[in-house]
Amino acid sequence: MSDFILAIDQGTTGTTALVIDRSLRILGKVNVEFPQIYPQPGWVSHDPEAIWRSSQEAIAAVLRETGIDTARIAGIGITNQRETTVLWERASGKPVDHAIVWQCRRTADACKALVAAGHEGMVREKTGLPIDAYFSGTKLAWLLDQHDADRTRCMRGELAFGTIDTFLVWRLTGGAAHVTDPSNASRTMLYDINQRAWSAELCDLLRVPQSVLPTVCPSAAIYGRTRGVPGLPDGIPIAGIAGDQQAALCGQLCIEPGMAKCTYGTGAFLLMQTGAQRIESRNGLLTTVAWQVGQDFHYALEGSVFIAGAAVQWLRDGLGLIEKASDIEKLARSVPDSGGVTFVPALAGLGAPHWRPEARGLISGITRGTTAAHLARATLEGVALSCADLLEAMEKDLGRRLLELRVDGGAAANDLLMSVQADLLQCTVVRPQVIETTALGAAILAGVGIGWFASLADARASWREERRFDPELPETVGKLRSQWRLAVAKA
């Protein structure tokens, strides 16, 4: 009997493999890190072979940890860092270069040129995205310029492009499947989210031959079967794919319009499900694809805070105020408030809804009485205030208030942060029992793909609440928001 799903969560710094049973309990989890490559300032690369090795090692380790019979693995679900771009040879499967990571800014000048030429309106209308080096399209164009300048190899069908999900499926199936799903395709700046297909106009604009692109399949489907993967039997179906943030939205079972989740990791990502309706943001957010299941095509609004958990890491590594990240809650609780200190954690610029890459971190309101505890509390408040800006923008776009926000990610375990977040949002914050919701979403989609669930709604019984944080009305909330707006303007 096939009782388990193997979920692969391929992230920016490491790959996690998880074994998940029919009730969506995580039976085992192993993470394997891989090196980051910084060729020059502003550039970030990964070795695709290192990603593949980390995936194989994580799979082997979690199978040892759980001791399950691999014959009982019913399917594989994949979730991934989204915009990271890989180009490889179809015949050999060998990457032609390092992958260009989503964080990489090497194509920023090319993006500025596209904006200056007047293309931003067309790109946003078709893709829901601004023209930015964040997305895959200009990364792929850069790789082709280096390795197939006249696009001859592409036109002969010798090269294949993919985001990390596509690359992993290619390797897992022994090169039999070159596929992606709409949640990942919608992050390339090459996919028309209205027509639900690769855009010939966008491909021409970026000089990307469509022959290099993968086939876009639903987020829950059997894309291919394992072949030649060490430690796994041939024939296991790969049955679910979603980009990491959309997978977390699915893992939180935010399957009705207006439901939202926030993932607190290195950054914070807030997505709101908008159902079959594409909502064009007028408040600095992205419109993206949530997923496709069967013929149901769902959209989402998305906002990103570049620095969340990374601000706590800075307190630890840069200032030495805490020994480990989890110490921040105790330190912050040792004072009743932040003592008038405001911290704007714009250590890598400001993301949505401000979109000010030139902004820098700012701490204001320091007095002779300011202590490390005040700064710790201001850091948590700064993360929560950044997320409050996102939700406020989403509510304006959607035209109604949010009543509940589901939360996940490592920093969601911080009770003080969650309590402050509820107060600032004036809505209930709900934390599930399982905060590994990214992998859980991939498993749910795979469960639909192999027939465990008839629909996403059938998985609802497996989602369990651990704690809810109801908002209060402390007098300080209005003051905090006012201080925050003044500080953001100066950052």
What is the secondary structure of 453-490 as a DSSP string?
A: -SSGGGGGGG--EEEEE-----THHHHHHHHHHHHHHH
Contact of 103 with 271, CB cutoff 8 Å: no
CATH number of 252-491: 3.30.420.40
Domain boundaries of the chain, sorted by first residue: 4-244, 252-491
Contacts of residue 247, defined as CB under 8 A and 6 or more positions apart, other chains included, come to 79, 183, 437, 438, 439, 440, 441, 442, 445
Angle at 301 (CA atoms; ends 219, 378), nearest 5 degrees:
120
The fraction of the chain above a pLDDT of 90, given in percent, is: 69
Of 251, 246, 243, whose CA–CA distance to 273 is shortest? 246
The mean per-residue pLDDT over the stretch 242-269 comes to 92
Are both 4-244 and 252-491 of the same fold? Answer: yes
Quick one: what percent of the chain has pLDDT higher than 70? Answer: 99
13 falls in which pLDDT band (50, 70, 90)?
Answer: confident
| Whether 298 contacts 441, CB under 8 Å | no
Using CA atoms, how far apart are residues 337 and 446, in angstroms rounded to an integer? 45
Q: According to the model, what pLDDT value does residue 83 have?
A: 92
pLDDT digits (tens, 9 = 90+) for 324-373: 888 999 999 999 989 899 999 988 788 888 878 788 889 999 999 999 99
* 4-244 placed in CATH 3.30.420.40: yes
Question: Over the chain, what is the mean pLDDT?
Answer: 92
Single out the residue of 439, 141, 165, 135 nearest to residue 286, CA to CA: 135
Sign of the Cα pseudo-torsion (93, 97, 103, 106, in order):
negative
How far, in Å, CA of 239 to CA of 450, rounded? 6
SS3 415: helix
Confidence category of residue 1, pLDDT binned at 50, 70, 90: low
Asked if 154 and 148 touch (Cβ cutoff 8 Å), the reply is yes
Helix (H, G, I), strand (E, B) or coil at 36: coil
Q: What are the strands, taking DSSP E only, across 34-158?
A: 45-46, 73-80, 86-89, 99-100
**Number of H helices and number of E strands within the chain?**
15, 23
Residue 405 has pLDDT above 90, yes or no: yes
